[in-house]
Amino acid sequence: MKSRRLLLLASLSVILHLTKAQESVAAGVRATQSTTRTRYGDAGNAIDGNRDSDIRSSSCSRTRRQCRPWWRVDLLEHYRIFVVSITAASRRGRRLRGAEIRIGDSLENNGNSNTLCARIGSIRPGQTANFYCEPAGVHGRFLNIVLPRCRSSLILCEVEAFGALEPH
């Protein structure tokens, strides 16, 4: 029991170190999404390094209302992702409730069938929340966020992923 606690404490220490000392592995790569609502809602806006949560500031990605909207970033290499940080829109942040963070190597179903890292419970509007891929991170090249319901729009103002390069 004591060794389990020590392992958990060591894992938390590594995760905290990663989020404080490392740049997001999603920064500067290419993102795509199921649809784009407006010219201000480009998928790349969610990885531009700007946490501005005002949808009108061209810093958020935004899909059209649809069934199962998704957003994806190609990390270009394989990583073990431990933490994903998401900044919600200031006016529509609660709409992320129930969204799934998925990581893996497959583009089947647009990557939305990859391994579940975490499910978003809630993020307060305009705030950033961390989601942990437990117990030991999730390995993959593609990071997806999918909202598994219909007549929904997916809005992400910033997505950051923290992990370690882990080649195949």
Tens of pLDDT, residue by residue over 40-88, are 899 999 999 999 998 888 899 999 999 999 999 999 999 999 999 999 9
Q: How many helices (H) and strands (E) does the chain have?
A: 1, 9
* Torsion angle in degrees (nearest 10) through CA of 77, 153, 118, 94: 140
Q: Three-class SS of residue 70?
A: strand
- pLDDT (0 to 100) of residue 1: 55
Query: Which of the residues in the chain have pLDDT under 50?
Result: 4-10, 12, 15-21
- Tell me the pTM: 0.86
| pLDDT at residue 17, as a whole number | 47
- In degrees and rounded to multiples of 5, residue 21 shows phi and psi of -105, -10
Q: Taking all residues of the chain, what is their mean pLDDT, rounded to a whole number? A: 88
At residue 37, the pLDDT reads 86
Looking at residue 19, what is its pLDDT?
45
